[in-house]
Structure 1
Amino acid sequence: MADAETKPALRVLLTGASGFIAAHILKQLLEAGYWVRATVRSESKKQDILKLYSEYESQLDFAFVQDVAEPGAFDEAVKAEPGLDYIVHTASPFHFHPDDPVKDIIEPAIQGYLSIVQAAQKNAPSVKRIVFTGSLSSVADCAILPGPAGKAFKEEDWNPVTLEVAKSNPMMAYFGSKTLSEKALWEWIEKEQPSFDIVVLNIAFVFGPLANVQTLASLNTSIQGLYSVFSGTCGQEVPPTWAHVWVDVRDTARAHLLALAAPKEAGNQRYCIAADGICSNQEAADIWRRRFPEYADRIPVGKPGTGFGMEPGTYATCDNSKSKKVLGLQYQHDYEGMLVDLAKDFIQLEKNGA
């Protein structure tokens, strides 16, 4: 009896494939059997990915995109034969020290979103859905965090930031760019009515183990902050927590895969992606001192047991119920488990002299 015909693998374009979140998305896509075209900026980034996933080489393809904010940046990357089924757009331009917040952060963020939908509309008629790695900062009013007290932000909420406020300083420009770029995206969808739909995942601050980081120097900003606590390089005091709503990177990646597979009615919607509990640098120090006693001497003590330092109900949280109900996302990784896994990566990098 002949074998049943094998169903072709679904084909996905993953932008910004070398990024912290994208690396976990790539891993889960390959493990799930997807064919993936990964966009990278350089040949060295391509080789890094091939080295990590050599057993999946037949499922991997690459496209080079130097600047995601350039008009037409993805025009060639979206062309494929057979055609693409989905796009996961994680790539986002960011400058730590902008000369001009509007030209260096806000406008590139808007163009980065629009360039991928424009490319898909023009050159990828087979695409059914584009999933965007958005930010909770386009939902929450970042200017008044950790408040307002008792508020649980949800998908209907928008950061009220204006262009005038956004260009006032680099931090507000970053938060504002997330809001203004997402608004521009939804306006484009409403106007153009493309054949594909979109899903925007509004993601909290992301922490977790390192899928593709080879050196301590290449840690991203949020992970660098935690490493400063684990290594003690932050000094004798535990630094204050400026992002208490968080999510594990593995759950974040899983949300992207679930969004791809979700039924048609789940499209053209936003989803808040955040863990059930909050986080704090003080709790991280407490957990690491307890779970890794051999490193306790270097980890600052701070004020053990005080956690975030605010009583429940006095700070804002995030309502993640829609992601659970519609996407079926289960948040499998709690703060302590994440910290233990991340510390193991820190220790390995230190042992490697990296």
Structure 2
Amino acid sequence: MERSKKETVLVTGGSGFVGSYCIIQLLKEGYTVRTTIRSLDKIDSLKETLLAGEANNMQNLTFIAANLTSDENWDKAVEGCDYVLHVASPFPAGEPKNENEIIIPARDGAIRILRTAQAAKVKRVVLTSSFAAIGYTINPKNHVFTETDWTDPNVKLPAYIKSKTIAERAAWDFMEKNAGAMELVVINPVGIFGPVLGKKFSSSIGMIVQLLSGKMPGTPQLSFGIVDVRDVADIHIKAMKNPAANGQRFLATSDGMISFPGIAKVLKADSNLPVDKVPSKILPNWLVKVSSWFKPELKPIVPQLGVVKTLSNAKAKSVLNWSPRPKEATIRETAESLVNFKIV
């Protein structure tokens, strides 16, 4: 498995869910890896996370402190790198008072990385965008969402969806205006699930925690795409290496969408899980709408109630030879990891 150590990859946001799995897979493939974290105080806990994911070749990993909102240390971070996986992006705990709290760091952070990577003669940057930049303003009726679709940022949208759209647009605009040898590929994942590597988990996985711990009285009729974090790391690395990926976007999703009631059903069918608190009741849409008046965190989901979108992963499969896991397996393994780490 050892390969030439000459190729160095920078992973931004190494302490995040996707960043950690990208590091693990790159180390397994024998790359020299550098990662940025906001503070070097996090090194020990990140190492613990990576070891929980069975990372090897840890001697080939170095850490650098850098923040998306400042120029400091980015030139050091990219120096001598062949590739950059720009995974880091601000994700809000809730809807911010001012959408620019998320939009500006996401957009400016992406440009900061591209500018410093280009100056350092990096071969290719793989940018993590989101399905948020593809599928939120087109009428889903009789429509198959693909990489050619774009969310319109001029429509009223939750701040996170808007931030991902604006940041990705800015990245493509930068590449157009600053044509050079450096290449850009963009990955647009749907909701990312998969085995946690410690007590910290992403907001999408929080949904499974809520279902298993009985914090949800019933399941809303909300459907979305799911992709396994291990497959997200895999598609980033395939996109980094494959010459045909240059200048392309790739929608990363397992086959078909799933609803909250569908997830509850998958969990209940797994005999290894503590499922006695998983709700059987399906919440009517009107009840969720009324509840959103008192619980602002429900507001962003209201427009998506009862909406089912058709998503295509054909491009990633054919161009990158990517084969995502079935979503049911991802849900089960996510839940099992939450039990193993005693989160539920």
TM over 0.5: yes
Q: Is the 8 A contact 1:110 1:180 kept in 2?
A: yes
SS in 1 for 2:320: coil
- The one-letter code of the counterpart of 1:183 is R
Gaps of 5+ in 2: 283-306
Over residues 28-84 of structure 1, what are the superposed CA-to-partner deviations in whole Å (9 max), with x where a residue is unaligned? 11111111001111233211233334742211011111x2122456222112xxx21
How far the C-alpha of 1:291 sits from its partner, in A, is 1.1
- How far, CA to CA, are the matches of 1:55 and 1:248 in structure 2? 21
How far the C-alpha of 1:110 sits from its partner, in A, is 0.7
SS in 1 for 2:44: helix
Q: Is the 8 A contact 2:28 2:56 kept in 1?
A: no
Q: Is the 8 A contact 1:73 1:115 kept in 2?
A: no
How far the C-alpha of 1:15 sits from its partner, in A, is 0.3
Instruction: State the superposition RMSD in angstroms.
Output: 2.4
- The one-letter code of the counterpart of 2:224 is H
Matches within 5 A, 1:69-218: 69-71=69-71, 74-79=74-79, 83-95=80-92, 96-102=94-100, 104-122=101-119, 124-125=120-121, 127-140=122-135, 142-143=136-137, 147-162=139-154, 165-166=156-157, 172-210=158-196, 212-213=197-198, 215=199, 218=200
Aligned to 2:323: 330
Q: Is the 8 A contact 2:256 2:311 kept in 1?
A: no
- How far, CA to CA, are the matches of 2:191 and 2:70 in structure 1? 27
Matches within 5 A, 1:62-73: 62-65=63-66, 67-71=67-71
How far the C-alpha of 1:349 sits from its partner, in A, is 2.0
Aligned to 1:311: none
- How far, CA to CA, are the matches of 1:20 and 1:8 in structure 2? 25
* TM-score in terms of structure 2 length: 0.85
Gaps of 5+ in 1: 1-5, 167-171, 304-313
Q: Is the 8 A contact 2:11 2:86 kept in 1?
A: yes
Q: Is the 8 A contact 1:15 1:90 kept in 2?
A: yes
Aligned to 2:47: 50
* TM-score in terms of structure 1 length: 0.83
Candidates 189, 204, 207, aligned match of 1:225? 207
Q: 4+ residue runs of structure 1 moved beyond 6 angstroms?
A: none
Q: Is the 8 A contact 2:225 2:256 kept in 1?
A: yes
Q: Is the 8 A contact 2:257 2:308 kept in 1?
A: no
Verify: 1:25 aligned to 2:25, yes or no.
Answer: no
Size of the aligned set, in residue pairs, is 316
- Identical aligned residues as a percent: 32
